[in-house]
Amino acid sequence: MKKISVLMMLLTLSISSAFAHALWIETASTGKKGQPQEVKVFFGEYEGREPDSAKKWFSNLKEFSLVLTAPDGRTKVLKATPDLLCYKTTFTPDQDGSYILSIVHEVKDIYENAKIEYYAFANVAVGNTPKVNAAFPANALFSFRPEQPVLKVGEAITHAIVYNKAPFATQKLSIVLPDNKKEEPKTDTKGKFVFKPAQSGNYFLEAFAEDKTPGKLGEKNYDKVWHVTTYFIAVN
């Protein structure tokens, strides 16, 4: 019995460490027309404030595609260059409304018999009428969808999480607060939850889903797919 208990503990730790890492986007949640907006892409453990060195990103992570969706639905791939702990780029807004920054990335190597899919999102509101951009990336299987792109301290908004074109219902997610404390609310039956920040700063939201459908990636077989999605918002 002791051997079984130790084995189960090691297995749990192995699975936990496997999806503790995530890909995320950081940028200011508001921007101005005609002014460059800096965007950073990180990989690592946000909760521990431990982004990995950009030189050590595993597998094909460096080949991520950062897509900018403009308020009118036009898309553009932003070319990012490596820095010490992240990749950096800029874009210059040319219209009012909400811009979506998104990454959808399939890791080419199998880890712990699992294929890994990373999704990362952030919104940038420009102008005085910040509305949610309805032109959401078509290939976003797993995503956070806020009812508005800008949030102030003490203001509550509803987020919806969509997974495989359906509500991510009654599932736990993680929210890392500016003071590094962690909350783990659950979505309701419609895949929604209310987010009300009590302090200014950066907020990191993450959700995880496991698809136990086996498959083949290249020449390698996998038993399951791990989906990890993140959303970043800077609250003023």
Q: Are strands 114-126 and 142-146 parallel, antiparallel or unpaired?
A: unpaired
DSSP H or E run through 71: none
Q: Provide the pLDDT for residue 222.
A: 97
Counting residues of the chain whose pLDDT is more than 70, the rounded percentage is: 91
How far is 231 from 170, CA to CA, in rounded Å?
A: 19
> Is pLDDT above 80 for 92?
yes
Q: Can you give the pLDDT at residue 130?
A: 67
In 3D space, the residue among 26, 8, 138, 120 whose CA is nearest the CA of residue 73 turns out to be: 138
Confidence band for 6, pLDDT divided at 50, 70 and 90: very low
CA distance 234 to 178: 9
Entry pTM: 0.90
Tens of pLDDT, residue by residue over 32-88, are 999 999 999 999 999 888 899 999 999 999 999 999 999 999 999 999 999 999 999
Q: What DSSP character marks residue 111?
A: B
The mean per-residue pLDDT over the stretch 159-163 comes to 95
Mean pLDDT of 81-102: 96
Q: Is 148 exposed, middle or buried (0-12, 13-18, 19+ CB in 10 A)?
A: middle
| Torsion angle, alpha carbons of 118, 233, 129, 78, to 10 | -40
Q: Supply the pLDDT for residue 9.
A: 37
Query: pLDDT of 7-41, one tens digit each?
Result: 333 333 334 444 579 999 999 999 999 999 999 99
Domain spanning 21-235: which CATH class is it, in words? mainly beta
What distance in Å separates the CA atoms of residue 25 and residue 103, rounded to the nearest whole number?
8
Q: 205 burial class (0-12, 13-18, 19+ CB within 10 angstroms)? A: buried
Task: For residue 15, give the nearest of 208, 170, 158 by alpha carbon.
Answer: 208
Percent of the chain at pLDDT > 90 equals: 81
Domain map of the chain by residue range?
A: 21-235
